[in-house]
Chain A
């Protein structure tokens, strides 16, 4: 897990990205891969297909934009962390659970790709700065409204942001402070 998150941090640093929203489509292009969006009614979020010559990130474009961003970030994770797999099709990438119900990758790979995606879209240090700025402006900001404001800035779903804030322990001081 640490390896996946570190890889996401390294990538952001290499590309000089330090403000939200993280441009995931642009990152795919800069890594020399191509994005292909096709709608699908059903339980597929995305896929990664690669040959020696090319890599394609497939995204289910029928899903909400924030979900699509998570899918792209997740596939970038597979691309950088799991070489040697020519095709991975991801069914319903779960933002909310560690036991990703997927897919053609192994369970460990899905967990790693999710950890990578969370750090890529909501990098811990970037998020900390934004939490601190918002709390400085309004110390009485309720946790759910804080999560929503941040979700808009980072272009992720409110649910994904709440989970991320919780996982990083960023919400607990607020709850203590307001309680």
Chain B
């Protein structure tokens, strides 16, 4: 969770600097103090959704550009490989799944 807000803060900061705005200016635009903006950029403050949209307009990017990627890669990977396997016949799909799961079972996190 913390990583998510760290990354969000980094993206916000990068977009703000690219727009050549100060933390005060962004704060004034969205109705927050400079300190709050500092905290958000440092990943210390978890913001509500409407503030995401406001902050994005303040720095001139779309909300999506401020959002980190999904870190739950293994689960996303599973969905993806089901999609990828569709082109194969059933027995081949079974084999490909065994190959993938044998590696998952070994618990390679890296």
**Interface residues, chain A, CB within 8 Å of chain B?**
32, 34, 36-38, 40, 42, 44, 47, 49, 51-54, 56, 58, 60, 86-87, 89, 104
What's the tally of chain B residues with a CB closer than 8 Å to chain A?
Answer: 20
Stretch binding the partner chain, chosen from B3-11, B12-20, B35-43, B79-87 = B79-87
B100→A54 contact, CB < 8 A: no
B87→A34 contact, CB < 8 A: no
Separation of A87 and B77 alpha carbons in the complex (Å)? 11
Separation of A36 and B96 alpha carbons in the complex (Å)? 10
Contacts of B84 in A (CB 8 A): 86-87
B87→A49 contact, CB < 8 A: no
> How many contacts A-B (CB < 8 Å)?
56
Across the interface, name the chain B residue whose C-beta is closest to A43.
B92
A34→B91 contact, CB < 8 A: no
Contacts of A87 in B (CB 8 A): 81, 84-85, 96
Q: Shortest CB–CB separation between residue A58 and chain B, in angstroms?
A: 3
Contacts of B102 in A (CB 8 A): 36-38
A40→B95 contact, CB < 8 A: yes
Contacts of A36 in B (CB 8 A): 99-100, 102-103
A56→B99 contact, CB < 8 A: yes
A38→B99 contact, CB < 8 A: yes
Separation of A40 and B84 alpha carbons in the complex (Å)? 19
Separation of A60 and B110 alpha carbons in the complex (Å)? 24
Q: Verify if B108 is at the interface (C-beta below 8 Å from A).
A: yes
Q: Verify if B98 is at the interface (C-beta below 8 Å from A).
A: yes
Separation of A49 and B102 alpha carbons in the complex (Å)? 13
**16 examples of A-B residue contacts, CB within 8 angstroms:** A34-B106, A34-B108, A36-B103, A38-B99, A42-B91, A44-B92, A49-B100, A51-B73, A53-B73, A56-B99, A56-B103, A58-B95, A86-B80, A87-B96, A89-B88, A89-B92
Contacts of B81 in A (CB 8 A): 49, 86-87
Across the interface, name the chain B residue whose C-beta is closest to A52.
B73
Q: Which 8 pairs across A and B sit closest by C-beta, in order of nearness?
A: A58-B99, A87-B84, A40-B95, A36-B99, A38-B98, A36-B102, A51-B77, A36-B103
